[in-house]
Structure 1
């Protein structure tokens, strides 16, 4: 499972002209599931996102989590995180989970974050989405449950 996480002052997702998810200060998470992801990948990803300390304390050091600042998380499904360009310029998405498994894993991550008491907004799975955000910092972090960094 891969996630690209941005610290934002605001973010929203629009589908067919309608805002379907929006947050103020918090994290914008682009989430992609791999073909072979399983429960341990979901747990790892949920724990990393929930515990990520990228918000500044009173001294300006990044030491606070989204829960510490009373922020929210906007989770957007994005299979293109598994785009493979090793053979040419057109990405292959063979490493991405199929739609049914990807949706299940996506919903498990969303549920896991909600289970930690975090306010969660989402995009619409498999929809063409317009994502707008004001990235703060900029702070952008990537995680991969198979690399465990």
Structure 2
């Protein structure tokens, strides 16, 4: 599982001209799922994101989590995080999970964020053409990847 985490002042997602998800201060998550991801990977990632200390404290150090600052999360599915463009000019998406698995995993991940966390969680729409707008705060952007079986 790969998640691109962006600390934002605000973010929103629009589908067919309608805003379907919108947050103020918090985290925009672009979520990619691969075919080997398990429920353990989803839970690990949800816990990591909820506790990730990338918001500044009173001394200006990144020492607070999204929960600590009363922020929110906007989670958007993005299979292209598993795109591989090392060969040729057209990316290969063989490492991305098939749509059925990816949708179920994405939905489970969102449920885990809501269950394990205490912050509002908004979402995009799986497999839709989305217009995602954000105002980066910092900017602070991190790529997280769930541990491999060897790392666990």
CA distance in 1 between counterparts of 2:56 and 2:96 reads: 34
Q: How far apart, in 1, do the equivalents of 2:91 and 2:47 lie?
A: 30
Task: Give 1:114 deviation, angstroms.
Answer: 0.3
Q: How does 1:27-66 map to 2 (within 5 A)?
A: 27-66=27-66
Distance 1:39 1:69 in 2: 28
Deviation of 1:118 after TM superposition, in Å, equals 2.1
- The alignment status of 1:101 with 2:101, answered yes or no, reads yes
Distance in 2 (alpha carbons) for counterparts of 1:94 and 1:136: 33
Matching residue of 1:24: 24
Structure 1's unaligned 5+ residue stretches are: none
- Matches for 1:1-149 after TM superposition, within 5 Å: 1-115=1-115, 116-146=117-147
Residue 72 of structure 1 and its aligned partner are, at CA, apart by: 0.1
Q: Which whole-Å deviations, capped at 9, do the CAs of 1:103-144 have from their partners, x for residues lacking one?
A: 111011100110122210000000000000000000001111
Provide the rounded CA distance (Å) in 2 between the counterparts of 1:117 and 1:98: 31
Cα displacement (A) at 1:35: 1.0
The 4+ residue runs of structure 1 with deviation greater than 3 A are none
User: Partners of 2:36 and 2:87 in 1: how far apart?
Assistant: 22
Give the drift of 1:62.
0.3
Structure 2 distance, partners of 1:43, 1:121, is 18
Give, in whole Å, the separation in 2 of the partners of 1:35 and 1:70. Answer: 33
Distance, in Å, in 2 between the alignment partners of 1:69 and 1:146 is: 27
Q: TM-score, normalised by structure 1?
A: 0.97
Q: TM-score, normalised to structure 2's length?
A: 0.95
Q: For residues 91 and 35 of structure 2, what CA distance do their matches in structure 1 show?
A: 16
Q: How far off is 1:146 after superposition?
A: 3.5
